[in-house]
Amino acid sequence: MYEGAVQDLIDELGLLPGIGPKSAQRIAFHVLGADSADVTRLAQTLQRVKEQVRFCRICFNVASEELCRVCRDARRNESVICVVEEPKDVIAIEKTREFRGKYHVLGGAINPLDGVGPDNLRIRELMQRLAEGTVTELIIATDPNTEGEATATYLALLVKPMGLTVSRLASGLPVGGDLEFADEVTLGRAFEGRRTLDV
């Protein structure tokens, strides 16, 4: 055990995700040796995030104003909504530059083991957006794992009566990957989703 504030900092850092006791100790000693101005800036940024950042009133992406950058952008296609689990998924999709519609961030996926049901996600808010009638297509981009698939199926059944086009991102071999190293589920999906080559 260290004295006073050092141990407090190690304890506090250890509460962050992915930071074990050894990393917490390493970071605490880095902080001890770091420039005071740098540490102050980190401390202030931590508090500023809590004060300034909120979730977009429409899509629940992170935002610094009432609406996020995507919802503020009038050039984005209002008729397509891409449903994702987390704000970081929005960033990943934005990087592809393939999608020019709007988003809806659920805040997670259905996971009964962790006690996350449909009511814990922003599904009601999605249904309200769809009820407005502007949206014609829904792209479900939840994670390709059990929880993401369950959420996708749940959503697809829920919006079925509304007559929208509902799609799910393709599963298959990662580009640049090696076929022999693909797991059997992915390879099975790649077969299932095979596409005719129009040459």
Q: Which is nearer to a copy of itself, 5 or 185 (CB)?
A: 5
Report phi then psi at 165, rounded to 5. Answer: -80, 120
Order of all β-strands in the sheet with 77-84? 101-105, 77-84, 137-140, 165-168
Nearest approach, Cβ of 11 to a copy of itself (angstroms)?
8
Nearest approach, Cβ of 55 to a copy of itself (angstroms)?
9
Nearest approach, Cβ of 197 to a copy of itself (angstroms)?
36
Nearest approach, Cβ of 85 to a copy of itself (angstroms)?
11
**What 3-state DSSP class applies to 168?**
strand
How far is 100 from 70, CA to CA, in rounded Å? Answer: 9
**Residues 97, 159, 55, 116, CA torsion sign:** negative
Q: Which is nearer to a copy of itself, 114 or 192 (CB)?
A: 114
Task: Report CA-CA distances (Å) from 129 to 79, 81, 123, 181.
Answer: 11, 9, 10, 42
Nearest approach, Cβ of 121 to a copy of itself (angstroms)?
14
Q: Which is nearer to a copy of itself, 26 or 129 (CB)?
A: 26
Q: Which is nearer to a copy of itself, 44 or 145 (CB)?
A: 44
Report phi then psi at 166, rounded to 5. Answer: -120, 125
User: Helices 4-14 and 21-33 sit at what angle, rounded to 10 degrees?
Assistant: 130
Residues that bind a copy of itself (CB under 8 A): 1-6, 8-9, 12-13, 15-19, 23, 25-32, 34, 36, 38-50, 52-53, 62-64, 68-69, 86-88, 91
Q: Which is nearer to a copy of itself, 17 or 161 (CB)?
A: 17
